[in-house]
Amino acid sequence: MTSPATPGIAAGRLAPDTLAENFADLHAPYDAHEARVAADRCYFCHDAPCVTACPTDIDIPLFIRQISTGMPEAAAQTIFEQNILGGMCARVCPTETLCEQVCVRETAEGKPVEIGRLQRHATDTAMARQSHPFTRAAETGKRVAVVGAGPAGLACAHRLALKGHAVDVFDAKEKPGGLNEYGIASYKSTDDFAAREIDWLLQIGGITLHTGQTLGQTLELNQLAQDYDAVFLGIGLGAVNALTCDGNDRAGVMDAVDFIADLRQTRDLTTLPVGRNVVVIGGGMTAVDAAVQAKLLGAQNVTLAYRRGREQMGASRFEQDLAASKGVTILTNVMPVAIHGNGSAAQIELEYTTAESGTLTGTGETIRLPADQVFRAIGQTFAGIDGPELDRGKIKTTGAGRTTMPGVWAGGDCTAGEDLTVVAVSEGRDAAEDIHAALTQA
């Protein structure tokens, strides 16, 4: 994290009670009565478009009907059978562009059934019981290594353990969870939910966690492939795209993912420094999360600067509107050309852009904004790995996550596809099913 001594950047801009209020749950959970009223809005469509839109294929009409009839734990079972991380997905999924976008109520009235909040109600109710809803099958004698304890790795590990395999999960960080633990805005996942969900998931048994283990350093893929019956790679991306403009190495310039991780791991938000004038470069979910949280920490001016038009932003319209509602200025069709200052960032110079025949170019017209803190949120890339073949910079897979390396599967952000938690869960789950079939075939 940038030092509090950097000019313009300071901790404790807001009082503790204000910070607590700012970082409270973005969506308050339903109580039992509210959940049943919300569930009653569902038409329980036979060919429900919401199911098709769900990457994990949850039977949404069924679980909502179970809530409406007073059986939230049965609803949770329906969810967990397809998505063991249904609790976190209920909090972070862009439901407004997935299941809720195609809801018949949304089409007819412009107000969908709140599927995400209903899913949270069901999963939270079941998890509060503490007991795990699945029973592990008899030991198969097979051992599987899962590298990466993010959504893909955890979903894969749980499904493999459920089938009776012994699973060792390795992760480079001190805590498991991947982006669920380190990369999601704090107001989306409060009260250490990511860690609590993992503790609950591990109750299935048969899974051993090994933290502080990094592929290519303390772990070698070839050795894992020899020592285990199968290997699953859910290692995420790891590398952050560089900001190629003058002054990008000035004090006060940092990666947004590091800022978010620091915030997620900080127990006392009054100790977390933030600038007075913050500029976030990017247009995706990470950019919005960094911008909103900087504002909630007490930054006076926060600007999100994106090189293309608003309709091209990776963040959903809901996320864009959330940022605007918190006081973030969204500036589109601009790109950074220089960060000015005497050692530390003081101003950012942005050039207006235009798209001609699909090619983005600068217009030559520039503006300058005060900026004592600049966050890079211009995407992440796969850090690379020896062994499996790559395709367009990510691990190449076929079928349910099979790589070109025998006995090695992969899923999540390190492979092609949407970089969404729910997609990672589906890929980890499906790879586990394929691994199980490969290990138990006659």
Asked if 225 and 280 sit in the same domain, the reply is no
Which pLDDT tens digit goes with each residue over 28-42?
Answer: 899 999 999 999 999
Asked if 340 and 252 sit in the same domain, the reply is yes
Quickly count helices (H) and strands (E) in the chain.
Answer: 16, 19
Residue 135 located in a structural domain: no
Hey, what's the torsion of the CAs at 388, 391, 392, 395, to 10 degrees?
-40
User: What local confidence, expressed as pLDDT, does residue 5 receive?
Assistant: 52
Asked if 230 and 250 sit in the same domain, the reply is no
Structural domain count of the chain: 3
Asked if 395 and 318 sit in the same domain, the reply is no
Q: Can you give the residue range of the structural domain that contains 314?
A: 242-376
CA distance 366 to 348: 10
Residues 6+ positions from 102 with CB-CB distance below 8 Å: 49, 50, 52, 53
Strands 9-10 and 207-211: unpaired
Asked if 350 and 404 sit in the same domain, the reply is no
Asked if 356 and 388 sit in the same domain, the reply is no
Question: Does the global pTM surpass 0.85?
Answer: yes
Asked if 46 and 163 sit in the same domain, the reply is no
* Of residues 30, 204, 187, the one with CA closest to residue 131: 204
Asked if 400 and 354 sit in the same domain, the reply is no
Q: Which residue has the tokens 């107001």?
A: 187
Residue 14 located in a structural domain: no
User: What percent of the chain has pLDDT above 90?
Assistant: 90
Among 127, 156, 171, the domain-final residue is: 127
CA distance 413 to 410: 9
Amino acid at residue number 150: G
- Whether residue 255 is predicted with pLDDT greater than 80 in this model: the reply is yes
Asked if 428 and 302 sit in the same domain, the reply is no
CATH of the domain at 42: 1.10.1060.10
Asked if 172 and 89 sit in the same domain, the reply is no
User: What local confidence, expressed as pLDDT, does residue 3 receive?
Assistant: 46
Asked if 345 and 393 sit in the same domain, the reply is no
- Whether residue 328 is predicted with pLDDT greater than 90 in this model: the reply is yes
Residues 6+ positions from 50 with CB-CB distance below 8 Å: 60, 61, 99, 100, 102, 103, 115
Residue 234 located in a structural domain: yes
User: What local confidence, expressed as pLDDT, does residue 356 receive?
Assistant: 84
Note the helical H segments in 166-316. Answer: 179-182, 193-201, 221-227, 256-265, 285-297
- Whether residue 4 is predicted with pLDDT greater than 70 in this model: the reply is no
CA atoms within 13 A on the CB side of 111: 3
CATH of the domain at 211: 3.50.50.60
Residue 409 located in a structural domain: yes
Which pLDDT tens digit goes with each residue over 45-71?
Answer: 989 999 999 999 999 999 999 999 999
